[in-house]
Amino acid sequence: MRGPLNLWRLIRTGATFERSGAMPVVLDAVDAPRSIRVAARIIGRPFAFLGYEGDPNMPPVTRALTALGPAYIKFGQILSTRPDVVGEELAAQLRVLQDKLPPFSKDEARDAIEADLDVSLDGIFASFSEPVAAASIAQVHKATLAETGETVAVKVLRPGVERAFRRDIDAFYFSARVIELLLPSTRRLKPVDVIAHFEGVVMGELDLRLEAASASEFAANTEQDDGFRVPDVKWFLSGRRVMTLGWAEGASMGDNAALDAAGIDRIALSERVIQLFLSHALRDGFFHGDMHQGNLKVAADGTIIAYDFGIMGHIDAYTRRVYAEILYGFIRRDYKRVAEVHFEAGYVPADRDVDEFARALRAVGEPIFGMDATRISMARLLAYLFEVTERFGMETRTELILLQRTMVVVEGVARSLNPKMNIWHAAQPVVEEYIKNSIGPRAVLSDLQETAKVLARFGPRLPDLVESLLIQQSRSQPAPHSSGKLAKLGWAVAGCAGGLAASLLAIVLIA
């Protein structure tokens, strides 16, 4: 039965965009060709009456996305950080989706907290405010602890949000499978895998115990970062549907007027946002995956305060090195090396021409370096990047989806602070430092040390492994093949010697 329901859901999505008046706004924002506009109107108009009405007091696109539910709101939050893609006016309208959505009642929040934590709210909090921020998944209340008088932020999931997300994700899966079936050329983009990745991210965001753990880990990783802070987790007041953090006082990263009034240097702030993100991604391999303005505040002293840790990204050491080499190549305008790294990592099929790919990358990079940032059309640039990936048969790398998406969001946040900022200039010191520590001679020594540690752990087990291998071989093969046993014994002894050597090397390197 899900197929017809999902088809109905998709029809209603288009109908909602048509009924709310959002369809022409979106088509204008992406500069859609006339053929697409005509087709959208012909198909959409007859079904407009089936769409959700939404709040008529909201602008059209915000109205449509809010009416459609939390998964669509997430998409709108991403677009709100890219005025260079959708235009300043639409981006400003969509920013409401970050933390200014209609809240649910304070009484519902009280009931949810008491049910999840099995406590009496009046016994824990001396005060508990009306909602101070409301987003797609949860809302936040300001409260005062009765015992200590400390001010805290209490985050509570929206009632029924899990079911709403599941409904939307089912529809997304259906549309992804239909796209793969009707448009085989899109299979390299792995639409179903992309939705699976999105599902995993969202499902993690719906358990606030996981978010509390992420906040704690992120705080530990970044405690030495100048000009950056993560509020502390109040574990005794956190559960699956409720999370409590220390209160973060500051101006919203999206309120330029407030930042200017506080005397904050927005140019320096824009560069620090980029550099902090890259530092967390490259140095730690663990980064905030939802760094839009609604999740960032700026304290009076200019410190960036991050919160809302439901979406966190993780990338392994090898992927971090590949990513850093690609960024470093772009910074140095060494497009041949960038192309080679793509081939070495398997991001481009081996049967394609590396020099041709390098020339295509040059067409992407040179406009960024040779033009004022305010004159760069990111929408056009992204469209060309898509053409490049299609021409060279590049498949979607699901392990990089969140990293790439967050990079787009963070750059959008930085540009909202300083429209002329250049991401490559801001990234250069962080990437160069990572390259020096992770790819140069120092990195080789570090890799040898880690390898030695792993090998050393097997040293004590090697005699037993050799004996077990010999017994197994003697039972499975007849005597005439004893020469084969001797050969394997030789390799086993050599392995034992190698393990001992590795142990010695590890001791020397650690010392």
By annotation, the residues acting in catalysis are 290
Give CA–CA dist 62/26, Å, rounded.
Answer: 11
Backbone angles phi, psi at 356, to 5 degrees: -65, -40
Cβ–Cβ contacts within 10 Å for residue 484, how many? 11
- Please classify residue 287 by burial: count the beta carbons closer than 10 Å to its beta carbon, then call 0-12 exposed, 13-18 middle and 19+ buried: buried
Give CA–CA dist 424/245, Å, rounded.
Answer: 34
**Residue 366 tokens, joined:** 């040179």
Give CA–CA dist 192/176, Å, rounded.
Answer: 5
Coil, strand, or helix at residue 130? strand
367-375: Cβ within 8 A, 24+ apart:
368/422, 368/423, 368/424, 369/333, 369/424, 372/420, 373/415, 373/419, 373/420, 373/421, 373/422, 374/419, 374/420
CA atoms within 13 Å, Cβ hemisphere of 190: 16
Residues 6+ positions from 424 with CB-CB distance below 8 Å: 330, 331, 368, 369
Give CA–CA dist 427/365, Å, rounded.
Answer: 14
Give CA–CA dist 221/219, Å, rounded.
Answer: 5
Backbone angles phi, psi at 304, to 5 degrees: -85, 130
In order, the DSSP letters of 158-174 are PTTHHHHHHHHHHHHHH
Strand-strand pairing, 304-306 and 228-229:
parallel
**Residue 317 tokens, joined:** 């050491």
Coil, strand, or helix at residue 298? strand
Backbone angles phi, psi at 263, to 5 degrees: 75, 25
CB 392 within 8 A of CB 368: no
Question: First-to-last CA distance in the chain?
Answer: 65
**Residue 2 tokens, joined:** 């899900």
Maximum CA extent, the chain: 89
Coil, strand, or helix at residue 478? coil
CB 391 within 8 A of CB 363: no
The closest of 426, 404, 405 to 415, measured between CA atoms, is 426
Give CA–CA dist 288/277, Å, rounded.
Answer: 8
